[in-house]
Amino acid sequence: MCGKCSLMNPKTAEWVSKRVGSDADRLGTSGFVVLCDFDGTITSFDTAEFILRQFAQGDWEKYDRMLDEGRISLEECMIRQFELVHVPEQVIIDELEKAASIRPNFSDLVHFCNRNGTPFFVVSAGLDFVINYYLDKMELRPLVRMHSGTSYFDGKKIRFTFPRLVNLEAKSFKDDLVVTYQRQGRKVVYIGDGLSDLVASRQADIRFAVSGMRLERTLREEGLACAPFEDFAEVQQKLNRLLNCQ
């Protein structure tokens, strides 16, 4: 088995080492798919939390506590929190423009995946109009697939709808997509930073976690392999080794 496959469990490493022939043709040139969180992962900080701190009218943090306690789902948490936000989309984007930045070399990673036949998804419980704004700004929208809620200002508050779950055992739309692609025969790379990424990361074949954040700490406490990173160049370097592993 190739020593470069240390990010994977043994079964995944064995699959990579045998990756030839009809499976490679059926799954694309790599047989992998990359799923990447947005808030705090692609961005330098959690833009959804920033928006709530700036604009929410009411105790939005109680829903985070309820989510951590398992009393509500990720989707319900976001719906309830953003019902407390009563400003339109452009006001939110203008405020983020003053503060938010994109983690270094994100664009390079997306182009790398595109060149190597590896689908790249943004998987986020955040505001899709914010995500699309930044993807358009970087001219990446044609190269990135979205799996997120749909959000909009209805004249009074921000409303959310989320994708329906395909797999009954899924906890949220994030791990639902992981399972869906695994059942199609792909190996799933998951990149995240927080507890909302935990279930999807546990299920994924290869895990990347922003250094020092809750996802990395929790995965390590659970004894699950993950690669910490601060710059997407680190992710690209490891993926390049993985895709060339025979």
pLDDT at 30: 74
Give, in words, the CATH class of 3-44+102-149+162-243: alpha beta
Q: How far apart are CA 188 and CA 35, in angstroms?
A: 7
Higher pLDDT, 120 or 244: 120
Identity of the residue numbered 169: E
pTM: 0.87
Crossing angle for the helix pair 128-137 and 89-97, nearest 10 degrees? 50
Domain ranges in the chain are: 3-44+102-149+162-243
Mean pLDDT of the chain: 88
Report which of 165, 142, 5 is spatially closest to residue 75, judged by C-alpha positions.
165
Q: How far apart are CA 8 and CA 96, in angstroms?
A: 36
pLDDT digits (tens, 9 = 90+) for 126-138: 999 999 999 999 9
